[in-house]
């Protein structure tokens, strides 16, 4: 689903007061533009004033500077709008999959689902208890015959650097 479909296109999703404000500003700008042109054509003093102002580089630099500043501001706002638009599209896509944004962020950051976390915690506990058993065994030696009769599980073998990770289905069965 595209972002435009989810949010509606620009003018349709714009609130009524914003539409009114935009139309009012447009009318005011057009009126003042018309007034300035007609005043320039009909008023000799206004013509001479504007011609003297724009004769040198000062007027041109003011106009170019103003246009440049407004262009820069609009470019920054456009880039920010584009990034926000992209983020909203990603959020809509995530929610369309039936996930929350927090779940998606956890998975993207390398977080594990609950069953995997429980399995890892259980393995760490087994390893810790096996290490404690090995430590107590060194303090109280066991005969070779006892070890042959009761072998230690693979995850607690002495010298095994890390526990073995087992895959677990969603139903909880080991694979």
CB–CB of 98/90 below 8 Å?
no
Domain ranges of the chain: 15-53, 58-111, 112-175
pTM: 0.32
Distance, CA of 132 to CA of 152 (rounded, Å): 13
| Nearest alpha carbon to residue 120 among 174, 171, 163 | 163
107-163 confidence digits (pLDDT tens) = 776 666 778 878 888 888 888 887 777 666 555 555 545 545 555 554 444 555 566
Distance, CA of 3 to CA of 88 (rounded, Å): 7
State residue 167 phi and psi, 5-degree precision.
-85, 140
């Amino acid at each position: 689903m595209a972002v435009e479909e989810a949010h509606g296109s620009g003018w349709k999703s714009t609130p009524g007061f914003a539409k009114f404000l935009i139309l009012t500003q447009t009318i005011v700008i057009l009126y003042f533009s018309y007034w300035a042109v007609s005043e320039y054509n009909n008023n000799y003093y206004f013509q001479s004033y504007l011609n003297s102002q724009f004769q040198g580089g000062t007027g041109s630099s003011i106009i170019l500077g103003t246009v440049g500043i407004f262009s820069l501001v609009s470019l920054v706002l456009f880039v920010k709008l584009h990034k926000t638009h992209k983020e909203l599209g990603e959020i809509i896509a995530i929610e369309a999959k039936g996930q929350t944004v927090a779940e998606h962020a956890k998975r993207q950051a390398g977080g594990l689902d609950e069953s995997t976390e429980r399995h890892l915690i259980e393995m760490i506990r087994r390893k810790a208890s096996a290490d404690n058993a090995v430590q107590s065994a060194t303090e109280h030696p066991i005969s070779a015959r006892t070890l042959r009769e009761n072998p230690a599980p693979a995850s607690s073998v002495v010298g095994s650097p890390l526990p073995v990770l087992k895959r677990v289905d969603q139903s909880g069965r080991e694979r």
